[in-house]
Amino acid sequence: MKDGDELQDLVAERTANKTLTVTDSTGATLKIGPLGAAGAFSPGELLQAAIAGCTALSAEAQIANVLGEDFEMRAVVNAN
């Protein structure tokens, strides 16, 4: 993180049975629920998303340095 960048608080509210909606200070929301719940990520899927996102964002600058700023990238996390 750059100087001055700080993690902000997140708020998780119960919005349905076994379902939470997480909101950040920018208004972005994320639904968390049981596996297979429509429109929601399960806790396991959130871990997969964190791995894929962190991997892709960590590599982005190095890849852009080689390929240029306009490139496509895809990170896949296999749950098996």
Reported as a single tens digit per residue, the pLDDT across 40-62 is 999 999 999 999 999 999 999 99
Where does the pLDDT of residue 3 fall: very low under 50, low under 70, confident under 90, or very high at 90 and above? Answer: low
Of residues 3 and 34, the one with the higher pLDDT is 34
Q: In the chain, pLDDT over 70 holds for what percent of residues?
A: 95
Within a domain: 3? no
Within a domain: 80? yes
Q: Tell me, yes or no, whether 15 and 46 share the same domain.
A: no
> pLDDT at position 4, please?
62
Q: Tell me, yes or no, whether 58 and 75 share the same domain.
A: yes
Q: Distance (Å, rounded) from C-alpha 75 to C-alpha 44?
A: 16
Where does the pLDDT of residue 79 fall: very low under 50, low under 70, confident under 90, or very high at 90 and above? Answer: confident
Helix (H, G, I), strand (E, B) or coil at 32: strand
Q: Tell me, yes or no, whether 35 and 50 share the same domain.
A: no
Domain count, the chain: 2
Domain that holds residue 26: 8-41
Q: Distance (Å, rounded) from C-alpha 57 to C-alpha 50?
A: 10
Within a domain: 35? yes
Q: Which residues contact 18 (CB under 8 A, 6 or more apart)?
A: 33, 34, 37
